[in-house]
Amino acid sequence: MGRSMGLRTYILKRTIYSFALILFVLALNFAIFDLMPGDPTALFANQARLGGVEVARAMEGLWGLNQPLHVRFVTYMRNMLTGQFGISYISMAPIAEEVTDRLLNTFLLVGVSTIFSIIIGIVLGVIAAYKRGSISDSLLVLSSLTTYSVPSFWLGMILLLVFSYRLDWFPSVGTTSFSAINPAPNIFVYITDKLWHLFLPALTLTLFMYGGYLLLTRATMLETLTEDYIMTARAKGLKERTILFKHALKNASLPLITNAAISIGFILSGAIITEQVFNYPGLGMWTWKAIDNTDYPVLHCIFFLVAICVIAANFIADLLYGVIDPRIKYG
């Protein structure tokens, strides 16, 4: 306590902590779904078309559901730690194969909208802080509060209605058009088509997220703008833009980084809903389908991956602190 330690000790400590957290998550992840009363074989047992009770029993054996708890736990741990994730109860395909495309789709969506919302949030936040107390400041704050509070699925529905149903500018489902992949197209057509499909979901998520960054940037900038070195910079006759974006923003960006890292999990929740609105085949739609079908191996995989992402993001944010602000003492 109180005693500051070196960067190396700090990294070591954070690493150990992150691994411990991952182990906790692994255990809880297993417990949540293992204690769930839903029976994944019920689908087969209830439908003679799928083979009825006999097939259900066979599935139970195949999935290892009739094995004792500790054996199932070992299998689960092996699946998670090797990145194999087992086999989906519904599609019967190895999850490791199924997860890649969906993960990429979601990362694309979340990545693009996070980057855009951070840029928009920072620029507008700096403007709001600079013009504090003015009408444009109030409007910016109110609009970001509103878009932040509007349910993302509702926003998606409205965008879908206007830009897809009425104006027909953007597609309403999927990530690619059939014509763009069949016959084998040139890469330019393919990418344009992807972006065309990505636009509305990404816009929804961006609108949903930028408000938080705007408010945070505004708050930290207001604090920074009262510092002495800003006055010094002004006295030197530097351009206002240089002062705002170079001197002030650099120091105000620390909370932004933490916030972006912490909100990864939150953003993924938003992505689930957004994917659902636009029928965008990413992790979100997959999650919903898996929940609907009590496809527990898929849920294990998704929960684990999301947790890893959040933990990794937090870890990176902790380390970045030092890079951006060398004054920080670890401890």
Binding residues vs another protein (CB under 8 A): 20-21, 24-25, 28-29, 32-33, 36-38, 141-142, 145-146, 149-154, 157-158, 160-161, 165, 215, 218-219, 222-223, 265-266, 268-269, 272-273, 276, 287-288, 291-292, 294, 299, 302-303, 306-307, 310-311, 314
Least separation in angstroms between residue 52's CB and another protein is 23
Q: Which is nearer to another protein, 63 or 286 (CB)?
A: 286
Nearer to another protein, 83 or 255 (CB): 255
User: Rounded distance, CA 265 to CA 114, Å?
Assistant: 12
Least distance (Å) between residue 154 CB and another protein? 4
Residue type, 264: I
SS3 state at 31: helix
54 vs 223 by CB, closer to another protein: 223
How many Cβ atoms sit within 10 Å of the Cβ of residue 329? Answer: 10
The residue type found at 331 is G
Tell me the closest approach of the beta carbon of residue 296 to another protein, in angstroms: 10
Which residue has 């999650």 as its token pair? 287
CB 206 within 8 A of CB 117: yes
Structure tokens at 153: 């699925």
To the nearest whole angstrom, how small is the minimum distance from the Cβ of residue 289 to another protein? 11
Whose Cβ is closer to another protein: residue 87's or residue 159's?
159
**Minimum Å distance from CB 173 to another protein?**
14
**Residue among 256 and 272 whose Cβ is closer to another protein:** 272
CB of residue 28 to another protein, shortest distance in Å: 6
In DSSP terms, 87 is beta-bridged to 94
Q: Which CB sits closer to another protein, 48 or 262?
A: 262
Nearer to another protein, 23 or 189 (CB): 23
Q: Which residue has the tokens 């800003």?
A: 230
Helix ranges (H only) for the chain are: 7-35, 42-46, 52-63, 69-82, 95-130, 135-149, 152-159, 178-181, 187-224, 228-235, 240-242, 249-262, 264-278, 283-292, 296-324
Nearer to another protein, 182 or 226 (CB): 226
- Supply the minimum distance, in Å, between the C-beta of residue 221 and another protein: 10
Q: Please give the C-alpha separations between residue 62 and each of 201, 295, 299, in angstroms, as whole numbers.
A: 38, 14, 18
Backbone angle region of 64, left / alpha / beta, with phi > 0 → left and psi within -120 to 50 → alpha: left
Distances 329 to 2, 15, 301 between C-alpha atoms, Å: 10, 17, 37
CB contact set of 274 (below 8 Å; sequence gap of 6+): 109, 152, 153, 156, 201, 204, 205, 208, 280, 284
CB of 223 to another protein, least distance (A): 6
